[in-house]
Structure 1
Amino acid sequence: MADVYALEISLTHEGGHQHIYPVLIKDDQDTVLVDCGYPHFIIQLQEAAERYGCKLDAVNKMIVTHHDIDHMGCLAAFKRAYPHIEIIAHELEIPYISGLKKSLRLEQAESTLSQMPDEAKAHAEQFIAMLRSIEPAAVDKAVTHAERLPWCGGIEIIHTPGHMPGHISLYLSSSKTLIAGDVVVIEDGRLEIANPQYTLDMEEAVRSVRLLLEYDIDRLICYHGGLFEGNIREALGELIVRYASQKSIIEKELH
């Protein structure tokens, strides 16, 4: 069975302290890194990997869950530093990761700028500049839903759109581990939808959470929050019910 390590990285972002959790999957043949953090994060990744006795130059596969800056910010630099790695992403994400299309997050930020109050525009413009600075990287392998990658005992691709159209989560059946990416996050000890204000399609996001109930999960790792402690199936069900209730309330108010 492969070893799975959630690489806790602490950072200060937008005036607050937070943690992100790229994931390292490792066996005797392959070392797979899932997401790589913000720009200039190679040193932080290296330090986090070394806490588990791993070296970044052993990584030979990089799976990118989606093209947000905190997930692919240092991807191009990582590829330059370790040119042997193979980069993998969902087919819908490839145009954005490779720079063939403008980032959907950048489009979203640009489209809302004119509607913001003047006091918020300076911060929004800084965010837009940061998104524009993301360096694209070529993707070596496209994947689709239910595809099973043969590395580390088998890694199943779960297409979990909503946060982004091509967002993926990963399921390791050998250890019943679900690597969530941003399909769910942990806030105050419970599961939530990641950044609802940034989620491009909330209904899709909730359907993606519902899809996770089809998997036998003993261990759930969120990019924001790390390892979830608790009854996973119950927590996923509660999250679905919570959003269904919110939607019902909103629909009643509109009518």
Structure 2
Amino acid sequence: MKIIELPIKVEFNDQKDYIYPSLIESRGELTLVDTGYPFCLKLIEEAIIKNHYQIGQLKNIIITHYDMDHIGSLREFKDQFPWINIIASDTESKYISGQVKSERLKQAEEMQQHMPKELQEFGKSFISQLKEQKHVSVDRVVYNGDLILDKSCEVVATPGHTSGHISLFFPHLNSVITGDAAVHQDHKLMIANPDYCLNMEDAKKSLAKLKKLDANTYYCYHGGKYTKTNAFLY
């Protein structure tokens, strides 16, 4: 088994950036962690091919949490490749499937009421994008401590950014896929986008939880791969 970082160059809302979905290869089968923005399917497929794999090898998609830059292309993946199993936490699965109004949409609507006039249009556009997000059913619901991917990966509940956020710990690889529970910034692991954290205290506890795992490598969706050999943990 190995984890491959997929740097994806994106432009969204006039902002250019990189996101870093993770690809897990095991016994010739692939698992993708998070699917990028709504336009990212082709970009991710190209990155998979660039790493000498084929989309037909993709068996699972694990979603760390329900945010547009993580599930934007999920419906398109499922529509085009229906054999793929979608995996998410119990809490996040309700938002992904549309059973429950997402926390992020509620947050955006509340923020809109107090937003300065010069940001009102941006706020309306963001709310509209959230409402247009396509829903999709989750095939497997997971919980904290569950062992998945042939028991090689432990599901780690890391709430804060969202209430049902999960990260993934690979003990034998000494590696963690963090989602937005941690971002690689200034050569450190830090809380991702604090202004959008739904519960800052939980986010701090989750970051501490990931650091306590003392992994050698952390695959961060924002900021890219962090290794203890070239960065400072604290």
Q: Give 1:183's aligned amino acid.
A: A
- Partner of 1:49 in structure 2? 48
Give, in whole Å, the separation in 2 of the partners of 1:34 and 1:180: 10
- Partner of 2:172 in structure 1? 174
Q: How does 1:12-31 map to 2 (within 5 A)?
A: 12-31=11-30
Partner SS, residue 9 of structure 2: strand
Q: Going by fraction, where is strand more abundant, 1 or 2?
A: 2
Partner SS, residue 220 of structure 1: strand
- Partner of 1:60 in structure 2? 59
5+ residue gaps in structure 1? Answer: 239-255
- Partner of 2:102 in structure 1? 103
- Partner of 1:251 in structure 2? none
Q: Give 2:94's aligned amino acid.
A: P
The structural deviation recorded for 1:14 is 3.1
1:146/1:156 contact within 8 Å kept: yes
- Partner of 2:154 in structure 1? 156
Residue 228 (structure 1) aligned to one of 223, 226, 233: 226
1:186/1:228 contact within 8 Å kept: yes
Q: How does 1:83-162 map to 2 (within 5 A)?
A: 83-151=82-150, 154-162=152-160
| CA deviation string 1:75-105 (max 9, x = no partner) | 1110011000111001111110000111111
Runs of 4+ in 1 over 4 A off after TM superposition: 231-234
Give, in whole Å, the separation in 1 of the partners of 2:78 and 2:35: 11
Partner SS, residue 194 of structure 1: coil
1:217/1:232 contact within 8 Å kept: no
1:218/1:232 contact within 8 Å kept: no
1:89/1:142 contact within 8 Å kept: yes
Please give the root-mean-square deviation of Cα atoms over the aligned residues, in Å.
1.6
Q: Give 1:17's aligned amino acid.
A: K
Give, in whole Å, the separation in 2 of the partners of 1:217 and 1:105: 30
5+ residue gaps in structure 2? Answer: none
1:11/1:19 contact within 8 Å kept: yes
Change (3 A) 1:148 1:185: same
- Partner of 2:81 in structure 1? 82
TM-score, length-normalised on structure 2? 0.95
Give, in whole Å, the separation in 2 of the partners of 1:45 and 1:124: 28
The structural deviation recorded for 1:229 is 3.7
Query: Identity of aligned pairs, percent?
Result: 36
The structural deviation recorded for 1:234 is 5.2
Give the aligned length. 234
Give, in whole Å, the separation in 2 of the partners of 1:29 and 1:86: 16
The structural deviation recorded for 1:232 is 8.8
Q: Give 2:5's aligned amino acid.
A: A
2:85/2:140 contact within 8 Å kept: yes
Residue 217 (structure 1) aligned to one of 198, 215, 218: 215
| CA deviation string 1:22-60 (max 9, x = no partner) | 111012253111000011211000111112111222111
The structural deviation recorded for 1:231 is 5.4
Give, in whole Å, the separation in 1 of the partners of 2:5 and 2:180: 14
Q: How does 1:171-210 map to 2 (within 5 A)?
A: 171-210=169-208
The structural deviation recorded for 1:110 is 0.6
Q: Give 1:202's aligned amino acid.
A: M
1:144/1:157 contact within 8 Å kept: yes
